[in-house]
Structure 1
Amino acid sequence: MEQSFHYKDRVLPEWVDYNGHMNDAEYNRAFSLATDAFIDYIGLDETARDNYAYTIFTLETHICYLKEMHEDEPFEITARVLDYDAKRIHLFLTMKNQHGEITATLEEMLMGMDQRTGRPSAFPDDVEQKIRSVYQMHADQEHPKQAGRTIGIRRK
């Protein structure tokens, strides 16, 4: 069976804020680094992006902060493709601490772009096949609780 995507890192000292934990912007940085690694994982590393004149843009993100992370604490980010079409990926990333506890999630919409035209474009065939493979790996799992949430103040 194919290995699923994993990105590992640790909380750097410069990522810690005045509250003594990982700053909210740094969660975004960690997820962004993981997204870049995921893009490489599906076959769009720097060489492929140059060869295809193709890249991926982020259209929208939503982070849920669930547990504090502290300086030098290791973490792992996994990815799940919730949905995809010819040129978009609905991606869900989960960050866990060294104890396997979910510390944050990021839901994002990615768009494939033709670099020559600057317009959205279908994924190259081999990239689409890899996206499909990642999607199928988790297709039978329950929808993540944090996915599809909206922000608002609940009124009684």
Structure 2
Amino acid sequence: MSQTVKQLLEDIVRKDWIDYNGHMTDSAYAIVFSMAVDRLMIELGITVDFRNQYHYSIYTLETHLVFIKEAHEGQGLRVTIQLLDYDAKRLHAFFVMENDKGDRLATSEQMLMGMDMNEGRPAPFPPSIKTRIENMANDYQSHPMPNEAGRKIGIRKKQ
């Protein structure tokens, strides 16, 4: 694992995540990446207490999942993050799910938004959160853009 990516989550493929094809269902991949976003919020200082006190959270605006390899029941999983970009209210994050052998299983590119929960509107990151985001961004400054980032979905027409 690269020293510039941060591991957020470790888990195993649970029995109730297995579908009729005998591997992890697509919705379970989304659950795992959502759990990783929750861990990211904690890393940034947006804990339950913080949310309750400041009525501030992060919402997911957009996500793009790429399925690379099947995951099977009992298999170990880990999710890492690479922060691609940020501004006053948004984070552009790239998550990678790997199995316990280090094989890439899936990626999730996400746009996340800081939200004032009282107003139900986007709001700038509070100073303490902004500082942690800036520190995280510095860690990824020289890391290359992942191949899956910025991909567009569509059917390529033969010419």
Kindly provide the amino acid, as one letter, of the partner of residue 31 in structure 1: F
Match of 1:80 in 2: 82
Structure 1 residues 33-59: Cα deviation after superposition (integer angstroms, max 9, x where no partner): 111111111110111111211111110
Matches of 2:4 and 2:96 in 1, distance apart?
A: 19
Match of 2:146 in 1: 144
Q: Structure 1 residue 133 and structure 2 residue 135: aligned?
A: yes
Query: Unpaired runs of 5+ in structure 2?
Result: none
Calculate the TM-score normalised by the size of structure 2. Answer: 0.94
Matches of 2:58 and 2:8 in 1, distance apart?
A: 19
Calculate the TM-score normalised by the size of structure 1. Answer: 0.96
What is the percent sequence identity of the aligned residues? 42
Structure 1 runs (4+) greater than 4 angstroms displaced? none
In 1, are the aligned partners of 2:4 and 2:140 still within 8 Å (CA)? Answer: no
Match of 2:71 in 1: 69
Kindly provide the amino acid, as one letter, of the partner of residue 114 in structure 1: D
* CA apart distance, 1:116: 1.7
> Structure 1 37/22 Cα, relative in aligned 2: closer, same or farther at 3 Å?
same
* CA apart distance, 1:138: 1.4
Structure 1 residues 101-133: Cα deviation after superposition (integer angstroms, max 9, x where no partner): 111000010100111211110001110111111
Matches of 2:63 and 2:122 in 1, distance apart?
A: 18
Secondary structure in structure 2 of the residue aligned to 1:113: strand
- Equivalent residues in 2 for 1:2-151, closer than 5 Å: 4-151=6-153
* CA apart distance, 1:16: 0.4
Matches of 1:57 and 1:79 in 2, distance apart?
A: 17
In 2, are the aligned partners of 1:87 and 1:122 still within 8 Å (CA)? Answer: yes
Matches of 1:59 and 1:143 in 2, distance apart?
A: 20
CA-atom RMSD in angstroms: 1.5
* CA apart distance, 1:4: 3.0
* CA apart distance, 1:6: 2.4
In 2, are the aligned partners of 1:5 and 1:41 still within 8 Å (CA)? Answer: no
* CA apart distance, 1:5: 3.8
Matches of 2:134 and 2:96 in 1, distance apart?
A: 19
- Count matched residues: 156
In 2, are the aligned partners of 1:4 and 1:134 still within 8 Å (CA)? Answer: no
